[in-house]
Structure formats: structure tokens, C-alpha cells
Structure 1
Amino acid sequence: MSRVFTKAARSRQKNAEEEEIEEMEMFGLLGTDHTLKNVARCMRMPYEETTAIERSLFYELLQSRQMTEIFLKIRNTALLVWHMNRQVECTTEDVKNRLETPFKYYAIMIQNIVHYLTRHGIINFGCYHHESHLEYQIPREHQNVLVIGAGAAGIAAATQLSDLGFRPTIFEARQRIGGRVASMWHDGALLEVGCDTLRNLDTSPINTLLCQMDIETTFYMENELIYKDGHRLSEQRKHLFKTLYQNLQGSIDHVAFEKEHRSEDNGMYVSRQQMYENMFNQIERRTLVNFHNHAKESNNLTQRMEMLSKTLETLRTAALRGEEKYKEIPKEDYIQRRSVNLKLKKAMEKFDDAIEEFDALRARLNAHNQMQPSQQYMSPDDFRDFNAHLGLEEYLTGTQLETVQFSSNTRNFLPEGPAASVKQGVGSIFEELAEKCRIPILFKHTITEIDTSGKDSVRVQFETPKGSAAMTFRYVVCTLPLGVLKKTISNDQRAPIFKPPLPPNKVDAIKCLGWGLINKITMGFPDPFWRTFRDEQTQFARIPEITERSYMLSWTSPPNSNSITTYIVAHRTVHDKSENEHVDAAIKCLKEIFPDCPDQPLFSLCTRWHNDPLAFGTGTFMSLRSEPKHFEDISEAIRTKDGLKRLFFAGEHTDATEYGTINGAWLSGVRAAAELANDYLGSGLIDGSDVQIPLADDDFEPTADHYLPKEESFLQPPPELLIPKEEPI
């Protein structure tokens, strides 16, 4: 589909990142190993090794280590070219001009690498200026693709499919774009009902969208302000418990890497809560052992001092008696007087040695008593501070740690550097992207049935404001949330029906993956009494009681806004409380920190994501029954009777590395689009096995015909897919 770009949109935005790139280019730092390594990290690609997908597509990588190094050099350079200017397409010529001899002579490999990176949405994605044409002219009757859902995954799949020559159409049950990303406005105040925080933007594909559309963001450090009982926690105490938490988390990650820990009764994984308790029990046992060892050592030193004291008394008595005896011996008895005198000297020497040892033991005992260990590792008040970090972990996963698999590495979700909020709302990213890419979206189209029993198409039934309808599509990309899929397999009437039923492995994956829940309480006030600086995001944490560690723990407020939001991660019974109960609890928490907080807000909004028939929750997590294979099973496409993949699945619950995040949702949509294109069009790579590339030679001048691929070397799609067939669309 064609796209319209203004001249201003084509020009590079002079942001801080691009200025830094220009400075590096000025000083000759672009293209260095350090720069390429950093760019590869930002693009979520390994710098010094190939991925499994690359090894499956490029057979040259299996020939020699030298070919692998050449491939990595070209691939990393292509990443750099795209990273330098993500508003203009990265073409083969751009990469070739950046490479030096002899790498730039690998024309076919360069073309294949750029094609592969583009096809898989690693480069050339989002809203950018196109400079090349599509390789394949897809027949019109094969272009139409239905994308179910206009969330991050659906928008990603649709934009990517549009770039690849398809004509996607999105069916969205809501009246808006975004799915679980929902930005609302109330009296000029931004209310983020869904996802509101962007973390780890330096490695996020969302950062590319922000740069392309010039969307303004506000960066801030999370949990820099922590309050306890109305008082701000000291930096020393905050650092102490943060370090302790990171050490324990690292220990759990190490244990998870070394060995699986399952229950012998039911075969399920041990929970993170149980592992933290086990770690604490070990620490407490070690603390008690140290305390008893300290007491035992004190007792031993005391006993030795008592024995020395008796020895000193004995030696003193013997010396006094010897002295009296010495006085009684006549002076004429020289030999006896000499014998007694020698005994006295030996007794005094022993006495002096015993005194010296006694003084040393006394000094040692005093020093030992000054290092009196605690009988308890952590007091209840200290544990409350530490427990707040576990609450933040529950906030990241969207559920209580008793239900989270201990091997789930939540460290991947912890922010590295500042977090970011979008001033226009996170939902504006996908709204503007869909508008600029001209993706057709039909709102209020609720899917009721997906039928894959046909020969070469998928039949979809849906409800619209005008009534029921049905259509047939060649391909369908389903981004229904995991919560809806769970309702589907339980035959809930609010969820769509799959015909035939989903395969057993997919059903098992849906059952085993966890589905979290985070609700919000947003309140508006006449004045932002919590704000310290203008034009800055306000975020702080409040340490709750031990029994409710993730209930209203974190608080946020957009810049220059009179509204403030807190989060609820707790047992289901807590989520079912009335809005008034939650508001009263939130006001009580605010008054504890800010005494001038009004008794009632001007307005309040309480989300009910668990009752939303289009979500039934907020995000995926690794439950006690989850396995890595479940992500592969749930993302596996379903084939029709002709044996071809027709129904593809996307959504954050299909991404094994960034599940439960907006990044995972976007990447899953790109992955589904690439899988669909590869299945229909083939890989699209050129066979360059018959081309001989010389080593670096300044005198070598290749001709244009030397590297032209043969016509039959293109991998064509299956012939049966290129034959037009009449079919209702």
C-alpha cells in the first residue's frame, strides 16, 4: 500500500542520538567493533555469533568460520546503517557504500542480508520512507489478510504485511486502537488506563517508532523516591536493601540455571516466593549457627581464662612458699639455697607466661564480645523494607510470587537506565502509526468463530453494530489475548469458537501459561500537591505492610497533570472490591505522605481488566506449570486441508523472551508477518554459491555482470499459490 510522506518527514530528526552518531562519524569511530557491538545490542542481535534463523537461511554459514565472520561484518554494518537513520529505508546500496574492501564485493550476500533483516522486521519497519520496490507481485486475490486485534501485535503485523506486498485489514472489537494500551483524556488530563511505562528503550523496537514519528517522551528514574510511614527512606537504607534483593535474585537465577526444581508430588516448578523463603531460611539458619558459634567461642575463651586464673593462683602460691622456704635455709647451705632459687625462677617464668597468655585471652575475648552477632538476620521492620522489593517484582510480573515460576528471570524486565512515559499517551504511538501507514481498521467487529476446516481459506464469523456477518480470507493473523484464549478452551460464551477445536498441544500451552492482572486507581485533584518539579514525571514508591506488599506500592503522575495513579496487584478478592473502597485506601496512603491531601478527589477511575470480555487480564507470566515449549506451541500456525499455514498467532503471550511486555507484543506481530510471508513467498534469498569472491585486493575491479544472479537462482513460491482462484473475500 502506498504511503504519503512530507518533506519534513523524510528529513532526519536532529535528536541527541543522531548528533552523537554524527560526532562519531566525524572522528572516524563509526564502523569500529565497539560501535557495531553497541548497535547490535540495541537491535537485540548477537554481535559475535549468528542466530538460529540465520543459520537456517544462510547455508554459507556452515561452510567455514571465515564466511561466518564475513556474514557478521555485513549484517552488523546493515544494522548500523539502519540505526543511523531509521526514517529512510536501509537499502543494499547503503550497506555496500558503508563496507570496505573486500566485503562490499559480496553483492549477493549483502542483498540477501538486507532482505532477511527487512523480512523479519529487524530493519526497515515502522513508518519510514521507501526507496525500493517489492520483489514479488502478489496476485490480488492472495493479498488480503485479516488481522484480528488492533493492539501492538496487530498493528505490527499489519504494517509489516503491508510492507511485504499484502493488503491487511484489521478487525477490532473495541472503538479504539491499542488493545491493552489505552490512553484517555479527562478535562485535559492524560489517563493511562493500560500500559503507561516504556522500559529499556535503548533495546526496544518501540524506540524506533518514537524516533520516526517524533513523539515526545519524558524520561525518569523509577523508585528514586521511597516513603515509609510518611517519611522518605534514606539513600543508605535504600541502597542496602536493594543490594540485598539483587544478591538474592542473582542466587535464584543461578540455582534456576544449574538445576530444575520441581515438586515431587505434582511435578510443578517451585514458586519464586518459595525460593525466596528457602533462601531466607538458609540465611536465618546461618545466622543462628554464627550466633551459637560466637557464643561457643566466648564460652571457650572464658573457660581458658578461668583455667589460667587457677594456674596463676597455683604458681603464685608455689612461689610464696618457695620464697619462705628459701629464707629458712641457712646461708651456709649453698647447694640447697641454689636449688630452691632455680625453682623460684622457673615458677616466676611460668607465672609471667601465664599472665601474658591471660592478657592475650582477655583482649581476644573483649574484641570477640564487641563483634556480637545478631540472633536474627532481619528484624520485622527491616524485612518490611526488603519485602517492598518483592512487591515491585510482583508489579512487574502482574501477579503474586506464589504463582510465578522461580526460574522466570524477572531481571529481564527490570529497567536498565531511565523509564519513559509518552506525553500524548502510549496509545498515540499505534494510532499515529496506523494512520500514517493507512492500515484499514474496522472497529466494533467482534470475532465469534474462526473456522479452519476449509480447503485453502479461513472462514471468520463476527458481530458488527449492523448484525452478524461472515467472510473468507486466505490468511488470518490472530492476536487474541491469552485471557480470551483461556476462556475459549473453557467454552465460555464470551470468547470466540475455533473450528475444528485447537490442537491438544496448543490447548495445553494455553492452560499452562499464567495470566496476570494489574488494575489501576486514577484520581484527579484541584492541585498536584505531590509534585516537586514542573514538566517532569512524578514517580515514587510507598512501602506497604508486609501482608499487602504490592497493593498501592507504586505511584505515578504525568508531567503537569492533576491526576495521580497507583497500581493494584493482589489476590482476586482485592480486585473485586468496590471503587469507593480502593479510593478510600488510596486517599489514606496519600495523606500519610502528603498531609494536605484532600479528603475526596475531583474524579476517580478504577480499571476492571479482569472483567473486560476482550482481555480478562493484563499480561502473561511463567506459571508453575509453564515450559519454554509452550510459547512455541501457542505460536504455531494452524494449517487448512491443503496443508498450508493459514491461521497465525501473535501477541505478547507468544514471545518466549519478552512475554508480558509491549516489546513482546510488537515482536510477535513482526514474527507472525515474517512467517506468513516466508510460507507464501519463500525466503526470497538469492543463490550465490557459484560466485567466487576474491580476497582484499586494491587492484581488483569487478564488472557489473560478474555478480549478477542467474534468473533461476531466485527461490520462487510454490506454483499452486501463484495460480489465481476465485474466492469470496
Structure 2
Amino acid sequence: MTQNAPRHNDTIVLGAGMSGIACAARLFQEQARSKKTKGKLLVLETRDRIGGRIGSVHVNGCRLDTGANWIHGIGTDEKPNPLMKILPHKKYRQLSGSVVFRPPPPSEEDGKAADSDEDGWQHVKSTSGATKSAPIQLVNGDLVIPPHTAGTLMSTMWGLFDSLHDTATSTPADKAKDTTMLKAIAASPVFQEAFDKVAPEYHQALRALPQFIENMEAAPLVAQSAEGKADTPGMGLLEYVIDDFDGDQVFLRDGYTAVVEELGRELVEAGLVELGVEVETIEWEKDPITVKTKCGETYTAKDVICTLPLGVLKERQTSAAVPPLFQPKLPAGKREAIASLGFGTLDKIFMVYSSAWWTEEPFSSLLHKGLVSEPITGSDSGLASRQEEEADIFMGFTPSLPGLEIHSNGSTSPGLRVLSIANLHSLTGLPALSCFISCSNARSMEPLPDSHARDLIHNTLTTWLGHEPPKPEGVHVTRWGQDEFSRGSYSHMITGVSETEHRVEFQTPVEVKGGGRLRFAGEHTSRNHFATVHGALISGWREADAVLEGT
């Protein structure tokens, strides 16, 4: 078979996620100003759509955002988040209400996870794998925590983030690198003082609450829940040695899909984005750089910007099941950076209903009695009952997934798993709930059928509410860990392994003999904004500017 001749471009961007689209869009705008020809720029994307880890699905007529959904700090007038200038008509809102449930009482079902047969609702599966019939047991009353105590718990949780950031930024970098997030949490005055603020009967909830940080960072607190080798330590304090944007943390009500599509609109219309093109190798030893694809096409360019997720880079560097991505191997500094940064998983379990039953009796009255206002801040202000509104978040605990409890003396023990469930009805108007699940729990859930996750959440809600709610009509579970084009959600810092310099290392291009350059963009390449959409956006702009400046 005759091999097609290489297709040459000045610049090739690999990946059409936020960083790749941002990079190419800026280059295209400059191209238009200088009236260069169309063939000088090209974006290659493996998926059949742009967006990368920004995406959505439709379930029973509801659009559900499977990936990014938050703006982490909208910024200030002096330092605005650049996302706020894109699509200024986008709708967003700060979380404004929660209902918190106390831990369920111990029972013989503790430690067992929901499973289903054809009926889907009458079985539980123990951790040993044995399955037995067991009807859902309704508890004697609900587990709603009164507003005053719930407000203290939520204030502690959000205040803990500020406390950890203050500790991290005041700790020398070498010490922060070797300090576990677990140790920093236990030593936090916000966490310690909370044990005196809440009654002893709520101490178990307080001890389990910091697991919420795993959901925020998609990173494990302890080694045994790390997503890698068994001896890989958990998340480190260096995670919070950053200078990110201030301002509200807000939920993007219409998702990010419209944002990335607007950024990429001119590129797509100009035919500069080729979808369904999977890169097999990047040969960078000499100019021009050669990109070979699995379909047999070959592309060459002087500048190649690799925006593939860190999870893919890690797999292609270490797995014997897939060929190396880079030929020859990358320089030692780049290889170390790829190996040293963590890449975690955050999944969503969507439950779609015919109506928002939680706004109807008897559930609405039950939830209103525990509703507290909950701006994302460490302040106690505004933590009062609000009978007229819906909660944006339902938060509670389950023994059906392995969890961790942090004691006031700094010790830890196996315990309950905290679950946070977003009320998409109050946030988007959809009759749906979205439960977050992260780290090893997410990885363990991904190979199982959606019905397993459905039963787990349904049975958990039944226990929290003391009444069995209606059953969902549609379920969707994201599986970012299994996604071969992502292999996880976003990056994090591993105790004793990751350093800020590993992120900065990606910002230095690999020099190619003859003058070409291999560059890197993506959230994992950002020093202060990693694990965020705006971090990916800024990294794309950074590399586009470097191409234009020839640096």
C-alpha cells in the first residue's frame, strides 16, 4: 500500500480540549490579521467532538454536563478570571444552600454496596461478593441535621480550604512537599475548634467531612486510596501553594460546552480542526516534527503543541500495553514531570427523574427543616434556616463505600464515606441529581453497570430521608478513569513526589534539531491554576504567544 505524503503545516495543535482550542484560536486570530494562508495551522483531535474533558450527554431529555461545571474563582476587578470575558451572557450562580444528614446508625448492612438483579431494587451485595435478597429497610425517622449544627459543619468545611491555603503558603516549599494533606487537616485550627462547637453526637460527621477535599481535588488523602502503585502516597499540602483567582466559586448553569464551542467556532468553520484522528507517535528528534496517526496519515510541522491530558501522557510513558508516544523518549526533565504529578478521577452519578420529587411533600418539608444558607466561604454569616428555597447540595454519609475518619488527636481510622449530591433542579431547572464520587471509589465503580450506582444512591437517599423516594427514570455514570483519551479527570500534587517545578518544566519547549519546538499546554502545565478550566485556557494562550514570539 502506498503511504500518503506527509501533510505539512507551520503549527499543529494536538488535542481540541480547552487548552488546545484556546491555543489554536489565538494563533488563528493572528493568522487572520497577518493574512496567512489557511494551511499553516491545524488541530488534530482524537474524539468526534471538541471539548476534551468538557462534554455533555442527554438523558431523558436532560442535558447533563459530564465534565467541568465550575468556575473556581471568578476573580476581582483588579485580577479577573479570563473566563468571565468569554460569553458574557453565560448564566452561573454561587451555591447558596445545603441540607446535611448525620451518619446512619450502625447496622448489619454496614460495609455492603448496592447491587441489582432484573428487578434492580431488592438486593445488596457484600464486599465479599456474596449476594442476598434484602428489602430496603426504612429507618425510624430521617437523618437531617438541624440548621445550627449543619451550618457549623458546612462553615468548617469551607473554612478548612482557607485554612489549608494559609498554612500551605506560609510553609517553606520543601516542607510543604513532604507534608501530607491529612496531617495539615488534622492540625488546622478550623478543624480542631469545630470539635468544641458541635455536640459529641455529631463528631463522627465532623471526622468524615474532610473527605470532601478528595472530591474537590480528585486526589486521595491517604496512600491506600491512591490511584497508582500501592505504595504511592496521598495528596500533599503543596496542592494549595498557589496564587489562584479570588472571588466566588460558581456553578456554570449551562455548562462549558458553549464556551469551548464559541472559542473554536472560527477554527471549525475554517476546517482547521480534524476530528477522529488518533496520534500514534510524535517523532521530534529533527525539524520538522513528524506526527503519525493510527489511520496511517502523517503530518509534519515546525511547532507542535501537545495538549493531551496528563493521564494519557503517563499511560503512554509507562504502559507496556500501548506504544510510547514520543520517539525518541522525552528529555529527562519532562519524563520526571509526567511521572511525578498525580492524575486523579472524579466521576458523576446522574439520577434523572420524571419530576423533582424533593420539592414535593413529604420530602420538601423534611428538607426545609434542615436547610441552611451556605455561601462558599469560611464565614458563619448567613447560616440560617431558609424555608422558602431549595438546597443546592445534599450532603451525608454512607457505610456502603470505604471511607476515612480523621480524629481530633490527628489519628485516622476506616470509616464512613461522605457523599455530596448536587441538586440540578435548583441549579439548572432539571429534575435530576448529580452525586460526586472520586479516587479509588470512582475507579471501583466504573467497571460496574449503571444500575449498581443507581441502587447505591437510591438506598442512601432512602436512609437519609427515612422514606423511599421515587425511582429514577434514567441514570448515567461518567467513567473518566476508563476513558482512553483522558485516563482521569485532572492533576494533583503527591506528597513527597510532586513539586511545583514539575508543572513549570512543561513550559520550557523541547528544542528540535533544525529549529523546531515541541511544546506542552493543559491544566497540568499551570503553576497556579492547575485542575481548572481557566488553567487550561491560560496555558493555551501562553503557548500560542510563545509560538508567535518564536520563544
* TM, length-normalised to structure 1: 0.55
State the Cα deviation string for residues 633-662 of structure 1 (Å, max 9, x = none): 1232111112x3521100000001010111
Is residue 2:94 matched to residue 1:210?
A: no
Label 1:605 to 1:143 Cα distance change in 2 as closer, same or farther (>3 A).
same
Residue 144 of structure 1 is matched in structure 2 by 10
* Residue 422 of structure 1, aligned match among 241, 253, 256: 253
Check the 8 A contact 1:221/1:417 in 2, yes or no.
no
Q: Which residue of 2 aligns with 1:650?
A: 521
* Conserved? CA contact 1:550–1:568, under 8 Å: no
Distance 1:537 1:209 in 2: 29
Amino acid at match of 2:251: A
User: Which whole-Å CA distance do the structure 1 matches of 2:95 and 2:23 have between them?
Assistant: 32
CA distance 1:648–1:414, change in 2 (3 Å): closer
Q: Distance in 2 between matches of 1:260 and 1:223?
A: 37
2:322 maps to 1:519: no
Q: Which has the higher helix share?
A: 1
Could you tell me which of 369, 394, 397 is aligned with 2:217? Answer: 397
1:635 is matched with which residue? 507
Shift of 1:559: 2.4
Q: Which amino acid is 1:445 matched to? A: V
The more displaced of 199-208 and 474-483 is 199-208
Instruction: State the partner residue of 2:22.
Output: 156
Q: Is the 8 A contact 1:148 1:172 kept in 2?
A: yes
* Aligned counterpart, 1:386: 206
Counterpart CA distance in 2 for 1:576 and 1:428 is 27
Q: Does 2:22 match 1:192?
A: no
**TM-score using structure 2 length:** 0.71
Q: Which of 252, 271, 283 is residue 180 of structure 2 equivalent to?
A: 271
Instruction: Give the secondary structure class of the aligned counterpart of 2:11.
Output: strand
Instruction: Answer 1 or 2: which has greater strand percent.
Output: 2
Q: 1:451 aligns with which of 257, 277, 283?
A: 283
Q: Does 1:560 align with 2:429?
A: yes
Pick closer, same or farther for the CA change 1:145–1:248 going to 2, 3 Å: closer
Quote the Cα distance in structure 2 between the aligned partners of 1:148 and 1:635: 16
Relative distance call for 1:577 and 1:667 in structure 2 (3 A) is same
- Unaligned stretches of 5+ residues in structure 2: 1-6, 104-141, 223-233, 365-388, 399-404, 406-413
Q: 1:621 matched to which residue of 2?
A: 492
Tell me what 1:219 maps to: 93
Say if 2:541 is the partner of 1:541.
no
Aligned equivalents of 2:71, 2:148: Cα separation in 1: 28
Q: Residue 236 and residue 151 in structure 1: after superposition, are their counterparts in 2 closer, same or farther (change >3 A)?
A: same
Counterparts of 2:493 and 2:245, CA distance in 1:
16
Contact 2:490 2:531 in 1 (8 A): yes
Identity %: 22
Would you say how many aligned residue pairs link Structure 1 and Structure 2?
A: 437
Q: Is the 8 A contact 1:529 1:597 kept in 2?
A: no
Is the 8 Å Cα contact of residues 97 and 391 (structure 2) preserved in structure 1?
A: no
Q: Is the alpha carbon distance of 1:485 and 1:588 closer, same or farther for their aligned partners in structure 2, counting shifts above 3 Å? A: same
| Unmatched tracts of structure 1, length 5 or more | 1-140, 288-373, 681-729
Residue in structure 1 matched with residue 262 of structure 2 by the alignment: 432
Matched, 1:530 2:358: yes
- Measure how far apart 1:176 and its partner are: 1.1
Please tell me whether residue 469 in structure 1 is matched to residue 274 in structure 2: no
Q: Cα deviations across residues 183-232 of structure 1 (Å, max 9, x unaligned)?
A: 12233211111112233234322221121xx4x41424255443436454
TM-superposed deviation, 1:147:
0.8
Q: Matches of residues 710-725 of structure 1 in structure 2 within 5 Å?
A: none
Q: How far, CA to CA, are the matches of 2:262 and 2:502 in structure 1?
A: 34
Q: Is the 8 A contact 1:520 1:565 kept in 2?
A: yes
Q: Which amino acid aligns with 1:556?
A: N
Query: Which residue in the other structure is 1:168 paired with?
Result: 41
* Root-mean-square deviation over aligned CA pairs: 3.4
Cα 1:283–1:157 change in 2 (3 A) is: closer
- The one-character-per-residue Cα deviations of 1:224-269 (angstroms, maximum 9, x if unpaired) are 4434364544443244334545665555444434444879xxx961
2:102 and 2:202 in contact (8 A); partners too: no
CA contact (8 A) 1:519 1:568 kept: yes
Q: What corresponds to 2:135 in structure 1?
A: none
Amino acid aligned to 2:288: S
Q: 1:155 deviation in Å? A: 0.7
Structure 2: distance between partners of 1:251 and 1:520:
27
Residues 388 and 543 in structure 1, CA contact (< 8 A), matched pair in contact too: no
Alignment partners' CA distance in 2, 1:460 and 1:525: 46
Post-superposition offset of 1:435: 1.9
Match of 1:696 in 2: none
CA contact 1:488–1:495 (8 Å) conserved in 2: yes
1:594 is displaced (CA, Å) by 4.9
Which of 1 and 2 has higher RCO (CA within 8 Å, sep 6+)?
2
Q: Could you tell me which residue of structure 2 aligns to residue 228 of structure 1?
A: 102
Equivalent residue runs for 1:52-91 within 5 Å: none
Label 1:559 to 1:422 Cα distance change in 2 as closer, same or farther (>3 A). closer
Match of 1:575 in 2: 445
**Structure 1 residues 404-413 or 610-619, which shifts more?**
404-413
Provide the secondary structure at the position in 2 that maps to 1:428: helix
Q: Secondary structure at the match of 2:54?
A: coil
Q: CA deviation at 1:378?
A: 7.0
Deviation at 1:408, TM superposition (A): 2.2
Q: Distance in 1 between matches of 2:241 and 2:148?
A: 25
After superposition, residues 27-46 of structure 1 pair within 5 angstroms as none
Shift of 1:599: 5.7
> Aligned partner of 1:503: which letter?
P
Residues 1:484 and 2:312 aligned together: yes
**Larger gyration radius, structure 1 or structure 2:** 1
Deviations 1:441-469 (A, max 9, x none): 11110000001112x21100012xxx311
Establish whether residue 612 from structure 1 lines up as the match of residue 483 from structure 2.
yes
- Matched residue type, 1:394: E
Q: Secondary structure at the match of 1:608?
A: coil
Match of 1:408 among 206, 229, 239: 239
- Quick one: which amino acid aligns to residue 191 of structure 1? L
1:577/1:489 Cα in 2 relative to 1: closer, same or farther (>3 Å)? closer
